[in-house]
Structure 1
Amino acid sequence: MTGHSMLLCDDEPALAEEIAEFFTSLGWSVRTCADGLAAERLLSGGLAPSCLVTDLHMPGGGGETLLAVVRSLPPEKQPAVVAVMTGHALEGTTAAAFGADLLYRKPADPFVMAEDLASRLRASAIPPSPPAGAERSILIIEDDPMIRKELAAFLEGFGHQVATSAGVDALDQRPQSAFDVLILDLHLVETDGLKILHGLRDRAVVPDVLLLSGHGESVLKAATTVAERLGLTVLGAYGKPVDPDALARSVARRGLDAAPRDIRTSDPDAVRGALVAALDAGGIPIAFQPKMCARTLVFAGAEALLAGTLPGLDPVRPQDIVAAAAASTELLVRLTLSVLEQAVGGCVRWRHLGWQGPVSVNLPVEVLLAPDAVGTLERVTRAGGLRPADVTFELIEDAVYDSSTAALAALAQLRLAGFGLSLDDVGRRQSGLLQLANLPVSEIKIDIEILRQARTWGKAREIFASLAALGRRLGVAVVAEGVEEDVDLALVRAHSVDYVQGFLISPKRPLDDMLALGLEFEQLRRRYCDGREAAGDEDWDSRRR
């Protein structure tokens, strides 16, 4: 049994079924989908296959767009091997031209594919991991004998191998590789679970962890944070009494199939040189992430973001590009104006399609303080065919923590000129509430980490609700970033949130690809809106101004 996993994306059911059955017979775990949009949702929802195999030409989201989305994922979430298939002629075409590892003419020979993929995985030094839900070796350390017995019997019913112990001595008595999941009570008679967590990182084989506690959510949350900072994979954390069904689902969840890869930071000098060359040649590539009305999922604008590519370099992290530009205020100004020019052009194009909503652009404080900054930003905006009211500048919360008098004056001038101002990452640190009192913002974006934690923790849900309600009371628009799962959208809609961004809607895309998503947006509305009226934007527009 190989233990490798595959996401197979192809709109020909017979071909997809044939390939899936073949690889399943070899011991692979295979997940199939019929278009690129469905594949994007699976990947953004946490699916981490060893390999991605995709057709290039499909309705409802093509393979080339899917490949661009895959390249935008964090390195640890990218498939180890990417293969593409096409029914078109391949003369002179290589896999590298699509940013893939392997390229096949349809119908592809599954035997050849299997050999190629296995060879690539071996070369990547990615160890196979059993598919989600497969048998796991579990050690339960819990000093309550009834809980030990009940959990063990329940998990054994799913085919898992389970051993139990009342104390920490079981860790020393069992071989290093004897279990791959540890279910740990945090409050043991002889010790506390936090000491055990610290010791796990020194083991030759580090197990995934599930935490139990009868001392409330605060203790569980703190222990989970400690474990994650120690580099452990936490599959779940549960208060007592434990829901065995929920615990079994967490056991079936695996860490990433591929071991996390190092996120390499690009050479600053090389990035700076490539950035200057790109700007001299006419501009740096950007992408757009759409923003939707939370209630109706009607398009409501988009955020312009760096695409993460520069001529002559491998993919570059956007933060590395910004860091390279920040060494020179002049270069950072050039970068910002290049993004603004393209963002304005993108907004003009979607307005021609009848789509409404402003374009958002990140505005570094250094650019805000440059000579005649407000006048320059207004001239670029109007020259591109927009009014200032059609542009929202986003300010990072940390960057404006100690805003100078000059910065505050410039922000006020931007608002007087008609621009929108959005405070990003609100809730990341205490300063966010102070900035809401000090800055003339028209919009706040709740920090993405709060929404992610709200999937698990009640306190995070309360914080999210409080920030959303505060924004409403202050008369500013509220945006929830990082909406990736159905539960995220449900939480957002339960509170006073105006707009959503995230992979559930769409990752960032080249402009042409985003503008081609009309059908996908309509499918989203049919799935999530249940006939809601596409109304209510006027209320937000009055608060934004």
Structure 2
Amino acid sequence: MTRRVLILEDQPFQRGYLVNLFSARAGVQVDACEDVDAAIALCACQAYDLVVSDLLMPGQDGIQFIQALAAQPRPPRLAVVSAASRRMMSSARLMAESLGLDVVGLLAKPVAASDVDALLDALAQTRPAVRTSPAALTPEPDAVQLRQALADGSLTAWFQPKKSLQSGRVVAAEALVRWRHPQLGTLAPGSFLPALCRHGLEGELLHAMLTASIQAQARWRSQGFRVPVSINLPPHLLEQSDLPDELLALTLAAGGNPADLCFELMENSTTRHVSDFYAGACRLRMKGFGLAQDDFGQGLSSVHNLVNTPFTEVKIDRALVSGCARDPALHLTLTTVIALANQLGLTIVAEGVESDADLAALRQLGCNQVQGFLVSQALPSDDFTRLLDEDAPDEGARGSRAASR
């Protein structure tokens, strides 16, 4: 398979050097240009698998190029190569990812042949699609459609496995919503979740995901597997003072066990009054549920909340995980976060693990569990059961497959 790569570099020597490095790899076709306008024009008329861009350039710089690239209808994946500081490149990565670009690497000059090999390996790890129709063709659902989907079970839970870095086996799962749309097929949350939030249906979705997770756990238990499940909980819902009581009543009525369920407090919202956040967190733990800080290292999550909230688990955001094996700053940050979490007695889960090198680094640093496309994408309940069967070492080990650090 031929991969098309575009290199944007203003210095002739560096441009030629990069062209030679990439061209020496089998199946790689390389184009190169020296300014932003030319690069954007090439991207508009040619589909590239990867764009490698400098940051420090006269005239329009690499940041402006990334902004322009993100405006393309189907932008290629991106790698940043620069003599700028690592923190500046990390900021460029965060900016690019916030615009929806897939950043596969940050390369410091001078670039080595091994850097190019690692970049092409990362490029080969494409993310599988979970929708059957392009988002641009998916009409935004209204409140009536969403309520109907919640009522008839079309909005359902798929499960992404969490693997133990100690045993190498699946020890837990995260419930992620999918819509089995009657006309459009299986839709990922990006095509309907924003509308659901705008219509104030997050509480109803939380109940549906909890029920679906308990039902899946019952099926897995009948096959001999105990699988704890994590469920996303937007923190602003904790403003409802009786939410912990509601969730416990629903869990018990459905035949679930609070000890096998963990609510992940998402980082994209918070309560208007901080007292509601801490009251809700304490009461969920007092009911016996697990509690996780989701997306730690991103958005509103903080060390203060991590230390002062009765969490049982911390999930490290992919922004701190992706590239940690090659990025000294990320590696140092993870070292500190994992050491703190271990001192707090938390289960440590790394999200967005997509390379063997990052997996090895996380294992060496003492991370407990990982999830991401390197392990598995989210799966329907029946497919998750088959994964458990394949993962089980023997029949006798099934009944004890509880989450472990």
Asked if Structure 1 and Structure 2 have the same fold, meaning a TM-score greater than 0.5 normalized by the shorter chain, the answer is yes
Q: Distance in 2 between matches of 1:509 and 1:433?
A: 32
One-letter code aligned to 1:486: D
Do the aligned partners of residues 228 and 513 (structure 1) sit closer, same or farther apart at CA in structure 2, a change above 3 Å counting?
Answer: closer
Matched, 1:244 2:117: no
Aligned counterpart for 1:451 among listed residues 321, 343, 362: 321
Aligned counterpart for 2:11 among listed residues 142, 147, 150: 142
Do the aligned partners of residues 447 and 344 (structure 1) sit closer, same or farther apart at CA in structure 2, a change above 3 Å counting?
Answer: same
Aligned counterpart for 2:385 among listed residues 509, 515, 522: 515
Matched, 1:397 2:288: no
Do the aligned partners of residues 262 and 416 (structure 1) sit closer, same or farther apart at CA in structure 2, a change above 3 Å counting?
Answer: closer
One-letter code aligned to 1:481: E
Q: Distance in 2 between matches of 1:536 and 1:511?
A: 17
Give the equivalent residue in structure 2 for 1:294. Answer: 165
Q: Give the Å deviation of 1:194.
A: 3.7
One-letter code aligned to 2:163: M
Give the equivalent residue in structure 2 for 1:342. Answer: 212
Instruction: Judge conservation of contact 1:392–1:421 (CA < 8 Å) in 2.
Output: yes
Q: Give the Å deviation of 1:371.
A: 5.9
One-letter code aligned to 2:86: E
Give the equivalent residue in structure 1 for 2:222. Answer: 352
Instruction: Judge conservation of contact 1:401–1:431 (CA < 8 Å) in 2.
Output: no
Instruction: Judge conservation of contact 2:235–2:271 (CA < 8 Å) in 1.
Output: no
Instruction: Judge conservation of contact 2:292–2:314 (CA < 8 Å) in 1.
Output: yes
Q: Distance in 1 between matches of 2:22 and 2:306?
A: 49
Aligned counterpart for 1:333 among listed residues 194, 203, 214: 203
Q: Give the Å deviation of 1:484.
A: 2.6
Q: Give the Å deviation of 1:281.
A: 3.6
One-letter code aligned to 1:217: R
Q: Distance in 1 between matches of 2:227 and 2:150?
A: 27
Report the secondary structure of 1:305's partner residue.
strand
Deviations 1:103-151 (A, max 9, x none): xxxxxxxxxxxxxxxxxxxxxxxxxxxx12x7x78676426x5x66765
Q: Give the Å deviation of 1:275.
A: 3.0
Instruction: Judge conservation of contact 1:235–1:251 (CA < 8 Å) in 2.
Output: no
Instruction: Judge conservation of contact 1:448–1:482 (CA < 8 Å) in 2.
Output: yes
Do the aligned partners of residues 224 and 367 (structure 1) sit closer, same or farther apart at CA in structure 2, a change above 3 Å counting?
Answer: closer
Give the equivalent residue in structure 1 for 2:257. Answer: 387
Q: Distance in 2 between matches of 1:199 and 1:342?
A: 40
Aligned counterpart for 1:267 among listed residues 140, 145, 154: 140
Instruction: Judge conservation of contact 2:7–2:53 (CA < 8 Å) in 1.
Output: no
Report the secondary structure of 2:374's partner residue.
coil
Q: Work out the percentage of aligned pairs sharing the same amino acid.
A: 29
Report the secondary structure of 1:482's partner residue.
coil
Deviations 1:442-463 (A, max 9, x none): 1111112221243553212222
One-letter code aligned to 1:289: Q
Q: Distance in 1 between matches of 2:283 and 2:205?
A: 22
Please give the TM-score of this superposition, normalised by the length of structure 1. Answer: 0.58
Report the secondary structure of 2:307's partner residue.
helix
Q: Distance in 2 between matches of 1:322 and 1:208?
A: 25
Q: Give the Å deviation of 1:398.
A: 3.0
Give the equivalent residue in structure 1 for 2:129. Answer: none
Deviations 1:158-187 (A, max 9, x none): 58888999x869969x99989988876655
Q: More relative contact order in 1 or in 2 (CA 8 Å, sep 6+)?
A: 2
Report the secondary structure of 2:160's partner residue.
strand
Instruction: Judge conservation of contact 1:445–1:479 (CA < 8 Å) in 2.
Output: yes
Instruction: Judge conservation of contact 2:241–2:280 (CA < 8 Å) in 1.
Output: no
Q: Give the Å deviation of 1:505.
A: 2.3
Do the aligned partners of residues 377 and 138 (structure 1) sit closer, same or farther apart at CA in structure 2, a change above 3 Å counting?
Answer: closer
After TM superposition, the structure 1 = structure 2 runs for residues 350-429 of structure 1, keeping only pairs within 5 Å, are: 350-365=220-235, 367-370=237-240, 372-400=242-270, 402-429=272-299
One-letter code aligned to 2:246: T
Q: Give the Å deviation of 1:320.
A: 5.1
One-letter code aligned to 2:168: L
Instruction: Judge conservation of contact 1:187–1:193 (CA < 8 Å) in 2.
Output: yes
Q: Give the Å deviation of 1:243.
A: 0.8
Please give the TM-score of this superposition, normalised by the length of structure 2. Answer: 0.75
Q: Tell me, which stretches of 5 or more residues in structure 2 are unaligned? A: 127-133, 395-399
Matched, 1:213 2:86: no
Q: Distance in 2 between matches of 1:317 and 1:148?
A: 39
Q: Give the Å deviation of 1:466.
A: 2.0
Give the equivalent residue in structure 2 for 1:47. Answer: none
Give the equivalent residue in structure 2 for 1:473. Answer: 343
Matched, 1:496 2:366: yes
Do the aligned partners of residues 274 and 355 (structure 1) sit closer, same or farther apart at CA in structure 2, a change above 3 Å counting?
Answer: same
Instruction: Judge conservation of contact 1:184–1:193 (CA < 8 Å) in 2.
Output: no
Give the equivalent residue in structure 2 for 1:307. Answer: 178
Q: Distance in 2 between matches of 1:348 and 1:536?
A: 14
Aligned counterpart for 1:487 among listed residues 338, 354, 357: 357
Larger radius of gyration: 1
Once superposed, what is the RMSD of the aligned Cα atoms? 4.5
One-letter code aligned to 2:140: D
One-letter code aligned to 2:346: V
Q: Distance in 1 between matches of 2:289 and 2:32?
A: 62
Q: Give the Å deviation of 1:472.
A: 0.9
Q: Tell me, which stretches of 5 or more residues in structure 1 are unaligned? A: 1-28, 30-130, 526-534, 541-545
Instruction: Judge conservation of contact 1:137–1:179 (CA < 8 Å) in 2.
Output: no
Report the secondary structure of 2:269's partner residue.
helix
Deviations 1:394-438 (A, max 9, x none): 111232365542342232122112111111111103642222133
Deviations 1:173-212 (A, max 9, x none): x999899888766557x77854884798699xx9987654
Count of residues in Structure 1 that have an aligned counterpart in Structure 2: 387
Q: Give the Å deviation of 1:251.
A: 7.3
After TM superposition, the structure 1 = structure 2 runs for residues 215-234 of structure 1, keeping only pairs within 5 Å, are: 215-223=84-92
Q: Give the Å deviation of 1:512.
A: 1.4
Q: Distance in 2 between matches of 1:175 and 1:234?
A: 19
